[in-house]
Amino acid sequence: MRHGNTINHLGRTYSHRKAMLNNMACSLIVKKRIFTTTAKAKELRKFIEPLLTRSKPQNDTMHSRRTVFAYLQDKEAVKELFDVVGEKIAERPGGYTRIIKIGTRLGDNADMCMIELVDFNEVYGVKEEAKTKTRRSRRGSGKGAAVAAAGTDSIEEAVIVDEVVAEEPAVEAASEEVVAEESTSEETSSSDETSSEGDADASAEEEKKAE
């Protein structure tokens, strides 16, 4: 009789189920990601996470290694677990695995998923940096006042720069007007000189004719 034993037998005997979970756990530790059915992945997660907790550096003792080896029965998997995986998950308090559903299997329409170690996925499991929260207050002192002062200073500098830029074209226009006036004055003076020379020549010719 079951007497409230609510585990999922997965359609297998006790020894077959245990051997299957041992094998899947070794594959997950070595490959860091495996594809299986959702029911098996959920049972594997309950099986492997206590072993991952034992593999942390603070729990790395001979007793822990022998306990884990009693479950996995694989020296290479135990070595990988304590030397590589344990160092990677040292700061994580729990939830070492992630299950992502990928649809159904073509043959029997079983729900398929991918189970992986969270810290070994560099794309999906990147830790976001904690955003610093800024406290807003109605008072005008402190950090907000400094920021406001900096903002007003930048605005004043922008206004001064705009004024300087606006004055530069005016100076250029004034200089152009002065140059134009000088050129016109030179032209008028040259025209006056030519006209005076022409009058002198005409008067000289008239005197010669009169003689």
Integer Rg of the chain from CA? 46
Q: Is residue 127 part of a domain?
A: no
What are 20's two structure tokens? 């299957």
CA distances from 155 to 95, 148, 152, 160, 211 (A): 51, 10, 5, 9, 85
Decide: pTM greater than 0.85. no
Smallest CA-to-CA distance from 24 within 6, 46, 4 is with 46
Tokens at 124, concatenated = 């999906």
End residue of a domain, out of 59, 89, 120: 120
In a domain, 135, yes or no: no
71/37 same-domain check: yes
Q: Assess if residue 166 is contained within a domain.
A: yes
Look at residues 60, 92, 120 and tell me which one is the last residue of a structural domain. Answer: 120
- Mind listing the pLDDT tens digit of every residue in the chain (211 residues)? 778 878 899 999 999 999 999 999 999 999 999 999 999 999 999 999 999 999 999 999 999 999 999 999 999 999 999 999 999 999 999 999 999 999 999 999 999 999 999 999 888 755 544 445 556 666 655 555 554 545 555 555 555 555 545 555 555 555 566 556 666 666 555 555 555 555 556 666 666 666 5
Query: 136 with 92: CB under 8 angstroms?
Result: no
